[in-house]
Amino acid sequence: MRTALVRYSGRVWDTPGRLLRLLELLQQRHDWSGPELAGRLGVSTRTVRRDVDRLRAIGYPVDARHGAEGGYHLAPGANLPPLMYDSDEAVATVLALQAYSGSDEAFTESAVRALTKLVGVMPRRLRRQAEALTEVRQTTTGTIRGQAVPAVSLETLVTVAVACRERRRSTATIDGEERTLDPLSLVRAGRRWHLVAWDVWKSEWLAVRLDDLRDFSATDRPAAHREPPGDDLVAYVVAQLGRRIQQVTAVVEVAAPAAKVAPWVDGAFGRIEPTGDESCVLHCGADSFDSIASWLLLFHAELKIVRPPELAEAYRRLAEKCLRHARSYADAT
């Protein structure tokens, strides 16, 4: 027998428990006959009819067909009623929400809210199962292709989301230093989760990656109300990332459409300026010119360096290194 978030077995005599079991059955299959439902619940078909009326009264659109081919099924309604999940469905939904919450910026907040609600009512064994599956899932690629994105545990994501939603003062360790934070919001940028929070001791806003947080814990104290660091928190986080990442900058003409280049460029690393149907200008930055040179080769497009000359020197060094590799192969053979 499949296990629901609330599990029932055998004959269910109490009305609330029986209604939950009936709802679970209706969500498992499209059509049920009255006798089938009565047999599963251990009640009469008359009781099934009454229970169906009770479900309708609280908003569940249960359709009934009369006659020899009659039966019941749960139809789409005007509003979304509460849903029942079995164990596998609950874990799968959590994993899907966790993956989806970072795939589309427009729905990130909604996905995190749904994830928080579902995980909040899951039994511990299912939460452990979801955590384990999260850890073994294939790591997604980072903003620069080939750069692995550190995984964020489900527990951390949900704990921080709840602290933000409830505006609770929290503590965490960042770079080995214990900090007191007033969490504001979770933001997805650079294909990573970031927490925007007020650092109580330093009296400043910060944007910290969730995988850099250690021992995050919400207290019972409310967070102080402050004006956010900007109207667009994603833009704020990207700007903070850019200041840390872009130690050097460059401008390069790329012989490729902006749409083709865009998947390789995150806002923290640069911006794209379309100049034609088959060309664009990339304003970019990184920790070194060598990093920029290697990264731009992944575009598989003709490049023209606009500035600075240091990027041209980085390409000369890269070319010499590649030539040495080619010669080492020739010598070995």
Dihedral (C-alpha) 178, 223, 167, 210: value to the nearest 10 degrees? -20
Q: Give the DSSP letter string of 105-145.
A: GGGHHHHHHHHHHHHHHS-HHHHHHHHHHHHHSPPPB-SST
Q: Quick one: what percent of the chain has pLDDT higher than 90? A: 27
Q: Which residues contact 135 (CB under 8 A, 6 or more apart)?
A: 151, 153
Q: Which tens digits make up the pLDDT trace of 27-55?
A: 777 788 889 899 888 899 899 999 999 88
> Is 69's pLDDT higher than 50?
yes
Average pLDDT, the chain: 79
Which of the residue ranges 17-26, 50-59, 128-137, 261-270 would you say has the lowest mean pLDDT? 128-137
Q: Which tens digits make up the pLDDT trace of 255-279?
A: 999 999 888 887 777 889 999 999 9
* CA dist., res. 158 & res. 24, Å (int): 26
Q: Quote the pLDDT of residue 11.
A: 46
Q: Which tens digits make up the pLDDT trace of 158-168?
A: 788 888 888 89
pTM, two decimals, is 0.52
- Given pLDDT bands bounded at 50, 70 and 90, which one contains residue 147? very low
Q: Residue 244 belongs to what H/E stretch?
A: helix 233-245
Q: Quote the pLDDT of residue 273.
A: 92
Measured in degrees and rounded to the nearest 5, phi and psi for residue 172 equal -160, 160
Q: Which residue did the predictor score with more confidence, 243 or 276?
A: 276
**Mean pLDDT across 98-127:** 67
